Amino acid sequence: MQTTIGKPARIAGIGLHTGCHVSVELKPAPVDTGIVFRRVDLQGFEIEAVRRHVSRVVLATTLMKKGVMLSTVEHILSALFGSGIDNLYIDVDSLELPILDGSALPYIQMLQEAGIEEQDKERTFLRVVKEAQLQDGEKWIRIQPYPAFRVSYLINFAHPLIGSQSFDLQVTPSSYAKEVSFARTFGFYSEVEQLLKKGLIRGGSPENAVVLTEDGILNDGLRAPDEFVRHKTLDLIGDLSLCGYPILGRITAHKAGHSLHTDMATLLARNSTISRKVKESELASRRKAAAG
């Protein structure tokens, strides 16, 4: 069945790139609403969390509708998709979501506080029926048929704390909360000055990101030795949510990023030879027939 939250929940922080203070309130939404951002600083202007509104994918995923922008949406979308939330209003009073601690964990805690409620309508899934791959040089992302939602990621950075890391997970609300949600965004101290000149990361600090020096980090420590690839997986899940439906399939990413992630969301949403919409009841009937 479709889900929303039981009661509103609020949080506030600063934007990673703008450095501006921003408040967020999650509110229950009716069936078939989907995930909808509302810029309450602009008379509640609505921006649906779908691929057609993606405008920029440089260091963050940015949505834009009729000239109204909302940036750094991937972490909250990841938490919602990983937790199986179908319908929600997200009220925001600035042009960027708060970075909080750099992970999706604060949003998971908000959802736990608000409670998740089933609604009186079945879910529709996007079921991958044919393998497909998108590539950009050595970067690529692939989808394959699979009976659940499974993600695999491989990264490689020339840094002693990262190197080659891989991560694989069958995503459920419990596995997402335990294995992915805590992983923080990361960046390199050597790039800070250049990014600041471009008007980016004005709100960035070791309080909300893992900051890598030449041979270590500025932070007190990592939350996991492979926190870096887990965060890339977090971003992937958030970007894939822009296809608009829960996914049944396996997604494998190799050195990918927001651009390939969101391009795959588009492919899933628009190509009926690659993925097909299927009702929850139809899936249950198929499983019953296969079992008996």
What is the set of active-site residues? 258
CB contact set of 209 (below 8 Å; sequence gap of 6+): 16, 99, 102, 184, 185, 186, 187
CB contact set of 290 (below 8 Å; sequence gap of 6+): none
Whether the CB-CB separation of 62 and 263 falls below 8 Å is answered with: no
Amino acid at 61: T
Q: Which whole-number Å values give the CA distances from 110 to 49, 68, 80, 176, 248, in the listed order?
A: 19, 26, 11, 15, 26
CB contact set of 201 (below 8 Å; sequence gap of 6+): 16, 17, 59, 187, 192, 195
Amino acid at 143: I
Q: What is the DSSP letter of 7?
A: S
Spell out where the chain has E strands: 3-5, 9-14, 21-28, 35-39, 45-48, 54-56, 62-65, 68-70, 88-92, 116-118, 124-128, 132-136, 139-144, 149-157, 163-170, 186-188, 210-212, 247-254, 275-279
3-state helix vs strand vs coil in the chain, percent to 5: 30, 35, 35
